[in-house]
Amino acid sequence: MTHPGMAMFLLRRLLHALLTLLGVVFLVFVLFNWVGGDPATLLAGKMASAEDIANVRHQLGLDLPLGSQFLLFLEQVVRGDYGESWATHERVSTIFWTRLGPSLTLLLPLLLLQTLLSLAVALLVAAWRGSWLDQGVRVVSTVAMSISLLVYIIVGQYWLAYVWGWFPVKGWSDSLGTNLSTYAVLPILLGLMVSIAPSVRLYRSFLLDEIDQDFVRTARAKGLSETRILWVHVLRNAAIPIVTDVLMGLPGLLTGAFLLEHFFAIPGIGREVIMAVERSDFPLIKATTVYVALATLLTNLLGDLLYRWLDPRVRLE
């Protein structure tokens, strides 16, 4: 593929992402203005007078025409400045930057371990397909998929942390090493219990689809070992759907991390979002929605580029 072709592809995808983000911004504005209720009434309190509510509406700019309110929100998105939190009066941008570190400390190891462990188990059962090991992993995965993350959190905190004392029940520190070795271990372990099972079953099906292809029989006819066939030929051809699953699973992984942060008192973005929902803190919720949409669009673009890198035959159009 030529460089001009790649440039045109990136330009088209960025334009598409921009239009999609604009649609998301409009949808968020509509939902919070027509479905979310009157924030001025919520902030003023139940005993507030009509004059108090009117004052709050004026302070928040809610007495402006809807067109002016949308343009103001659009300006906030472009500048990346969503004003102050209604609950804590802290800048929303400050909240995100200060809470991003704990969230990444939890999310990045969880994503890396989930992908590597799921792929390793899937390769193992694919090599031994039809054996007792393959059937046992499938049964365990099915059982694990039927249990909610909340159950894992409650049971894990009670038995592993409170009763047996293997991990702290909750907490966080300013040291990255302490967090990774102490406070983040149990949340990551519980997150893996939920996320590995569906990934193993899916990756196994991707690998088995490739094992039955003609190129595998040709490789066997050439005398290549089963290990080389599985790790080089089969895995390379199954890499594209695996990458797709990893990228598409990021929003779900992020949602699960929200619960982990909340129950383990990890001062990350997820914990702040849950508290913002409880307090009807609309600026923080709006910013989170836009940021998640932007992150999803960027990961989709990254996925398209990875497809080309994994398989040069893929055409980016």
Give residue-wise pLDDT tens across range 279-314.
Answer: 778 888 888 888 888 888 888 888 777 776 766 655
Whether residue 246 sits in one domain with residue 114: yes
**Would you state the structure tokens that stand for residue 52, as one six-digit string?**
């108090």
- Any domain includes 86: no
- Any domain includes 94: no
Per the structure, the complete domain to which residue 280 belongs is given by 102-310
Q: Which of 64, 79, 94 is the last residue of a domain?
A: 79
**Residues 68, 86, 47, 72, Cα dihedral to 10°:** 0
Counting the structural domains of the chain, the total is 2
pTM, rounded to two decimals: 0.82
71-108 confidence digits (pLDDT tens): 888 888 888 888 888 778 888 989 988 988 999 899 98
Q: Which CATH number does the domain housing residue 210 bear?
A: 1.10.3720.10
206-246 confidence digits (pLDDT tens): 998 888 788 888 888 888 887 888 887 888 888 888 888 88
Whether residue 295 sits in one domain with residue 220: yes
Whether residue 189 sits in one domain with residue 260: yes
Q: In sequence order, what are the residues at sequence separation of 6 or more whose Cβ sits closer than 8 angstroms to the Cβ of residue 56?
A: 40, 43, 44, 48, 62
* String of DSSP letters for 165-185: -SS-SS---S-HHHIIIIITH
Task: Considering only CA atoms, give the Rg of the chain.
Answer: 24
Query: Considering only CA atoms, which of 183, 204, 186, 211 is closest in space to residue 141?
Result: 204
In the chain the first and final C-alpha atoms are separated, in Å, by 11
Q: Which of 25, 45, 79 is the last residue of a domain?
A: 79
User: Across the chain, where does the E strand assignment appear?
Assistant: none
Whether residue 122 sits in one domain with residue 55: no
Give me the mean pLDDT over the 50-68 stretch. Answer: 79
Query: Considering only CA atoms, which of 255, 211, 243 is closest in space to residue 308?
Result: 243
Place of tokens 């803190």: 281
* Residues comprising the chain, all counted: 317
- Any domain includes 22: yes
Query: Considering only CA atoms, which of 201, 186, 175, 189 is closest in space to residue 265?
Result: 186
Question: Over pLDDT 90: what percentage of the chain?
Answer: 27
Whether residue 121 sits in one domain with residue 74: no
- Any domain includes 172: yes
Cα dist from 61 to 43, 47, 55, 88, 143, whole Å: 14, 22, 10, 18, 51
Q: How many CB atoms lie within 10 A of CB 74?
A: 14
- Any domain includes 89: no
Using CA atoms, how far apart are residues 44 and 18, in angstroms rounded to an integer?
Answer: 36
Cβ–Cβ < 8 Å for 248, 202: no
When comparing pLDDT for 287 and 44, which is higher?
Answer: 287
Using CA atoms, how far apart are residues 102 and 210, in angstroms rounded to an integer?
Answer: 39
Flag whether pLDDT at 125 surpasses 60: yes
Whether residue 122 sits in one domain with residue 24: no
Whether residue 132 sits in one domain with residue 18: no
